[in-house]
Every structure is written in C-alpha cells, then in structure tokens.
Chain A
Amino acid sequence: MLKQFGFLGVHAIIALSVPLLGIVAAWLLRPKKPYPLKKTTYECGMETIGDTWVQFKAQYYLFALIFVLFDVEAVFLFPWAVAYNKLTLFGLVEGILFVLILFAGLIYAWKRNALEWQ
C-alpha cells in the first residue's frame, strides 16, 4: 500500500506542474497590451453597478447544511459497506437504523419547506 501512495505522491507533483507549466508557457508566448478598459469586468458592454461581493441567497446555506449531514453519513457508511460480509445481523440493523434516522431528517427538512427553492 505504501507503494501505491508513493505513486500518488509522484503523480500529485506531475498533476500540479502540468497546469503551472501551461500557464508559464502562455506567459512567455502571449502578447501583453493591457489598457484600463480591457481590464474592466465583463458585463454586456455596460459598467458594473455596485459591489459583487454582497449578500446572497440564504437557500444555499440550507442545502449546504443538509449536504454536510449526508456527507458525514457517507464517511460512516463506506467502512460499514466494506466490512459488511463480516458483520452479524446486528450490523445490518444498526446500519439500517442509521440510514433511517437520516431519512427522517430529510423528511423533516422536506416538511419544513427547506427543500423548496424560493
């Protein structure tokens, strides 16, 4: 297994250096003639009004919260699935209970209209 992760280490260096090399190559090749108008924000030929980084929809937070729940669930389910053949009936009941609790959470969120995009 150490050899496999060793490959990943070498591969990570290559995977990072290829895009960086591309950017460096383009930096050497491309023309550089900037002027202020060129560097303005792209928006239909008009100048942008107001700040970009303002408040945004709270709905995104709700979905992110539900997602975190399910993602943590997945982290617990993966080892359960791998060791499944060695587990007894208790392991099955435990796993199903775990999924059902999350299911109840999803239904609660559904009933409280957290899943509606308003």
Chain B
Amino acid sequence: MNLLNPQTLAPWFISLIEGIGLSHFWTLVLWNLIGSISLVLFAIISILFIVWLERKFAARVQDRIGPNRVGPYGLAQTIADAIKLLTKEDITPATAERVSYNLAPVLAVFSVFMVAAVVPFAKGVIGADLNVGVLYITAISSIGIMAALMAGWSSDNKFALLGGFRVVAQLLSYEVPMVMAMVSVVLLAGSMSLQKIVAAQAGGRWFFWVMPGVFLLYIIAALAENERTPFDLLEADSEIVAGYHIEYGGIKFAWFFLTFFLNTLFLASFTTTFFLGGWRGPFAEQVPILGFVYYFIKTTLVIFFMMWVRATWPRLRIDQMMAFAWKVLVPTSLVLLIITAIVLKLGLPAIWVDALLLVLNVTVVLVVLGFLGRAMRLDIDRPKRRIAA
C-alpha cells in the first residue's frame, strides 16, 4: 500500500476488512462511516482554528492584540469557549414554538455538514463525487436558510423574526447571481461533478483567468451568503441585536456559530474549486498528498480575503443590499451567462475561446462599474438639487 496515494486506501481497507469475514455491504458501510466521521472531525477541528484566526486578524486590523491567554498565542481560546457554551444553562423563552426552536440549530449544522461531502480535497479524495454536485450544493444550502427562518420565527421575539426575514430576503436574492455564476462554470467545464470541474482547470487554466467577471460575482454572492460584512445586516447588532439567533444560548447558539464559520470554510472551498483550480498545482497529479497542501493554501487565502473585507468595510442598508442584488448582480450574471454560451459555440480554438472570454468578462465588469459609478453620483447629487429647488 502506498501511503502517499489516498486512492489506494479504499481497496486496501476493503480487502483487509473482508479478510476478517465481514460481508461486502457492511464493509462499505464501515468505510463510508470512517470517511464521514473524518470529514466531520476535519470540519470541527478546522473551525477551532478559523475562529482563532478571525479573532486574531480582526484584532490586528483594529490595533488590538486579540485572544492570547489560553494556550500558546491564545490558540486554545476556542476550545475554552466551546466548553463554556456546553455547560451554559439553556434558556428557552416560555412562549417559543418548541419544536422548530430546537430543530433549527440541528438543521443548520446538518446542512453545512452535508455540503462538506462534495468538497474535493485532493485527487480521488472527496466524500461523494456526485454527477449533480453543483446542483446538490445549491439544494442543500437552502436547508440552512430554512433553519434560519425557523429559528427567527419560533423564538417569539420581534428582533429574531426581523432577522429571520432579512436572512431569507438576502440569501434568496444573492442565491440567484451565485447560481448563475455556477451555471457559467458548469458551461465551461461541461459537468456538474466537482472533480471534473477541477480536472477542467488542468495546466494552470484556472477559471479565474478565463472568467474574472464571473469570479467577482461569485465571491460577492459568497460574502452575502455567508452573512458577512458588508452584507451582515441580518445580525446588525445596532438594529436587531443579533438577528435570528438572539434567543439561543449554550450549545444551540454554539451550533449556529459553528454553522457560520463552516459556511465560510466551504464557500471558500467552492470558490477555490470553481475558480482557483481546486487542489491543482505542480505535481499534484503524481503526489496526491500535495493536493491537500494546495487546497489548504488556496482556501486559506480566500478565507483571508473574506476576513479582510469583514474587518474593513461598513454595513449596507437593506434597500441598498436588495437593489445591489437585483439591479446589478442578477442582470450582470445573466449577461455573462449568455456571453459564455455564445463564445463556446463559436467553434474557435481553445486558446482563443479563453482569450475572448477574458476580454469580454473584463469589458462587462468595467461597463457595470461605469453604470454603478454614475448611479452613485446621481444618488449623492439628488438631495442637493432638492434643497436648491
């Protein structure tokens, strides 16, 4: 058995267990169980790290030191927080709708764990390489929206209900450009399987270089889907306290917290997969273990970008947020989709297709930015004119 090649692991394990005398079916179940548990463990352990990273990063941006008491560099702070949350008293409002109140955090965590199943980590290392992978992601992440609405509605708190409504309005609005960006990626890759999308980006032909406009759309929509600044009005502390999870405490709050950071991790993973070549890099084909390294470097960079935006940008108003989704992102995504489809059917050689797509993407982004700038200037001028009149 070659330890450096994870693909030989499954046949080796299956033959080993079947040698003991278990039937083929139960061996497969056992193998899947091990894979599933390691996926969940990976998610939870990486969250411990990402939370620490985010707190440290935000602290440095704001000229603070951040957590530095528990463990070296405060690394064990998240573990201490988790233990604290686990032992907190559970306070449920007396008037809450108990069933959906308790079900909401479970469903939220369920949706992010399920999404983890289609993240390609390295060559041949993926939970389930579905041939409907991209559709699966969009379908499963909708459960998270439902969980947020359930939490907001069942808490019997006006702030929570408002937060729940805002979650639905924002996440649904930004799902449209996100899905359209995904359709463009699927068009270019010719498959919905995430491993095949990664394979289509072989030889440094990352979709980021081919379609920077679509990448921009996707990353903006990802920031909104993740409820991060500038789109964090779902939990705007100064308006609606904490949003839909205001009435949650203890472990149930911890699950919502975990969901938030897992969403960050997996949205960054999918950005890497769709646009940054996934686990691809020099020698990743020959030495699959290198795939993990490339995947982690790229994903961490995307997460850093998201933290950077969160630490530096102010929050949008709800009307600005909705207008930006429906009047800017959705039309742009539709135009880019049509452009991609037309260019792919022109019958040009592959290199010309890529170059043409790149040029058209940049043009579309520049035109949209031009329109946006003009609209903003009009917006600033308008009150002045009213005063003059």
Contact = CB atoms under 8 A, between A and B. Distances in A.
Given A18-B40, A42-B157, A30 B87 contact: yes
Contacts, number: 207
Contacts of A36: 94
Nearest to B246: A42
Interface string B144-175: 00000000010111110100010011001101
A19 B110 contact: yes
B187 A84 contact: yes
B3 to A, nearest CB: 22
Given A11-B128, A22-B251, A78-B183, A85 B190 contact: yes
4 smallest CB-CB distances across A and B, nearest first, come from: A15-B113, A117-B319, A26-B251, A4-B128
24 contacts: A12-B114, A18-B40, A23-B252, A26-B87, A26-B88, A27-B90, A30-B86, A39-B91, A42-B241, A43-B159, A56-B161, A63-B173, A66-B326, A67-B173, A67-B176, A74-B176, A78-B134, A78-B192, A81-B187, A84-B344, A89-B345, A92-B345, A103-B331, A106-B330
Contacts of B330: 70, 106
A8 B114 CA distance: 8
Contacts of A42: 93, 157, 159, 241, 246-247
Interface string A97-108: 001101100100
Contacts of B32: 6-7, 10-11
Interface of A: 1, 3-8, 10-12, 14-16, 18-20, 22-23, 25-27, 29-34, 36, 38-43, 48, 52-53, 56-57, 60, 63-64, 66-67, 70-71, 74-75, 77-78, 81-82, 84-85, 89, 92, 95-96, 99-100, 102-103, 106, 110, 115-117
A103 B173 contact: no
Interface in B235-263: 241, 246-247, 250-252, 254-255
B127 to A, nearest CB: 6
B129 to A, nearest CB: 6
B361 to A, nearest CB: 17
Interface stretch (B15-23, B221-229, B296-304, B333-341): B333-341
Nearest to B337: A99
A7 B86 contact: no
A96 B322 contact: no
Interface stretch (B58-66, B101-109, B281-289, B365-373): B101-109
